Amino acid sequence: MQSVFYMRAINDERLNAAAGDIVYLVAFSIAASMLSITSKYVWVDEYMVKESTKALVIKKDDPENDGILMGGCCCVRGYNISYGYIIRVMWRLAAVIARFVIIALV
């Protein structure tokens, strides 16, 4: 419903004038919904991925730290950043946005 209102308000001059700045609020609401849905998918994905991609930061001496897709953490010594986790989150976000765009444009 948010996407329908947003598209109608942008394309209809009278509705856009009546809505005013609420169009920005609707766009922010759509973005927040996308992040919320993505976080739910990432949470469910944790049961199906390698241990090294379950968290953003992993200790260097952790047995699950296989060194693949890992980089040194610049903030805290003794930890690695899991690039696999970052890729997984970006993949899910792109998938959710693609589905939203397809459904909104149909």
Q: Look up residue 11 and give its two tokens.
A: 């394309």
Q: Dihedral, CA atoms, 79, 84, 86, 89, nearest 10 degrees?
A: -140
pLDDT tens by residue, 9-28 = 777 777 667 766 676 777 78
pLDDT tens by residue, 29-84 = 888 888 888 888 888 887 887 777 777 777 667 666 666 666 666 666 677 777 88
Residue 48 gets which letter from DSSP? Answer: S
**In this predicted structure, what is the pLDDT of residue 70?**
66
Q: Look up the pTM and report it.
A: 0.66
3-state secondary structure of 66: coil
Answer yes or no: are the C-beta atoms of 45 and 88 closer than 8 Å.
yes
